[in-house]
Amino acid sequence: MAKLNIVKMGDDMLRRVCRPVEQITPRILTLLDDMLETMHAADGCGLAAPQVGVLRRIAIVEVEEGEVIEMINPKIIAFAGEQQESEGCLSIPGKYGITKRPKHVTVRAMNRKGEIFEVSGSDLLARALCHEIDHLDGKLFVDKVVRYTN
């Protein structure tokens, strides 16, 4: 595994829409492993492929230690409620703001074995899932901030 460079706000890469993954190759598996190492090194709870310079629909989330959710071609298929909580981003260090997000979401994605799965989450997990999927569509949390906290 390798620690990758995290792309920072201002880089065009973060505003581009990512392409779907057509086939899970050894390169995709290595990317997932490297993204996890990079996220851990940066003390984050989520990371999307464009944040490490790869325009593919891949993201990882880990809000509970040891419970890593790897998502290939993720899509939010259901959401409910509303929450307004603080968010930050590894690509926008030192910046935090209150965003409006769904309280609960369900995401359908593919895992590293090519199997389709669904994951549902509330509160922080729902925010993290939405945040990382937004990255795949060229959106940043600052686009959804209702007020900055710093």
- The CATH number of whichever domain residue 137 belongs to comes to 3.90.45.10
Tens of pLDDT, residues 55-91: 999 999 999 999 999 999 999 999 999 999 999 999 9
Does 83 reside within a domain? Answer: yes
Query: How far apart are the C-alpha atoms of 123 and 80, rounded to whole Å?
Result: 11
- Provide the 10 A C-beta neighbour count for residue 24: 16
pLDDT for residue 48: 98
First-to-last C-alpha distance (Å) of the chain: 34
- Is 132 among the residues known to form the active site? yes
Low-confidence stretches of the chain (pLDDT < 50) are: none
Does 33 reside within a domain? Answer: yes
* Residue of 62, 70, 87, 132 with catalytic role: 132
Does 6 reside within a domain? Answer: no
pLDDT for residue 90: 98
pLDDT for residue 150: 83
Does 55 reside within a domain? Answer: yes
pLDDT for residue 1: 79
Query: How far apart are the C-alpha atoms of 48 and 7, rounded to whole Å?
Result: 10
Q: How many domains does the chain have?
A: 1
pLDDT for residue 110: 98
